[in-house]
Structure 1
Amino acid sequence: MTSSEFSYYRKKLGKTQKSLSGLLGVSIKAVQSYEQGWRSVPLHIERKLYFLLVNRRRNGTGRRKDCWTLKKCECKKECPAWEFQAGHLCWFLNGTLCTCTAGHEGKEKMEICRHCEVLTSQL
């Protein structure tokens, strides 16, 4: 995640740097550093930020689409996203069976998920 993306998403949430730092469990200096590009955004902070964005309350914007629907998944019943009814959070879970991320975890998986329609359609 770039510094400008981090800043954009903070503003999209309507949060100050101080309030976002509390939600992310980091110091205000860390948030400032992410936005200025002095520090790269760690993967666990990026995932928390996406989680907040995806789960914010919306006013009549419709229902979230599950990954198995968007991707026409054939192995959904073996997947953790299906088991925990978290099809809109598949990018957050390890061990999912999406054909594009199967066998990838951590940074590799997040690199793929950043561009996936499941996540981007919710941001």
Structure 2
Amino acid sequence: MESAEFHRARKKLSKTQKEIAELLGTSIKAIHSYEQGWRSIPPHVERQMYFLLSRQRELHEKAPKPCWTVKKCPPSRKKKCPAWEFRAGKMCWFINGTICECQARKNWKEKMVVCKKCEVMSQLLV
């Protein structure tokens, strides 16, 4: 997540920098630094922002379809995927080890490259 995307997400959540700092359990200085691009946004903060956006989306919009429906995953792939195991198809991007594009990713950064291009998560970023 880049600084501009972080700023847009905070605005979309209708939160001040102070309010988002409290929600994320961090300092307002950290929020300033993220938005100014002085500090990289840690994976746990990025993940929490996406989580908050997903919850807001489900409150105000039609709930998204599970990822296995959107991606038309065959039963053999679904059985290996943690999103299927935990019935988290609307939040597959939140779970490490999902079998997106036919393989699990090694870390959060690699996973986000794939997830941000996916129609399941892309709705959060609009």
* TM-score, normalised with respect to structure 2: 0.88
1:42 aligns with 2:39: no
**1:29-86 deviation digits (Å, cap 9, x = unpaired):** 0001101111111111111100100012523x21222110110011213321112111
The residue aligned with 1:58 is 59
Which consecutive unaligned segments of at least 5 residues does structure 2 have?
A: none
Higher helix share: 2
Identity rate, percent: 57
Which consecutive unaligned segments of at least 5 residues does structure 1 have?
A: none
The residue aligned with 2:121 is 119
**1:72-122 deviation digits (Å, cap 9, x = unpaired):** 011213321112111111111111122255243321112221222111123
Contact 1:64 1:122 in 2 (8 A): no
Contact 2:13 2:53 in 1 (8 A): yes
The residue aligned with 1:83 is 85
After superposition, the Cα gap between the structure-2 partners of 1:68 and 1:44, relative to the gap in structure 1 and judged at 3 Å, is same
Aligned length: 122
* TM-score, normalised with respect to structure 1: 0.90
Q: Which amino acid aligns with 2:12?
A: K
Contact 1:10 1:16 in 2 (8 A): yes
State the Cα RMSD in Å: 1.5
Contact 2:65 2:89 in 1 (8 A): yes
Contact 1:101 1:109 in 2 (8 A): no
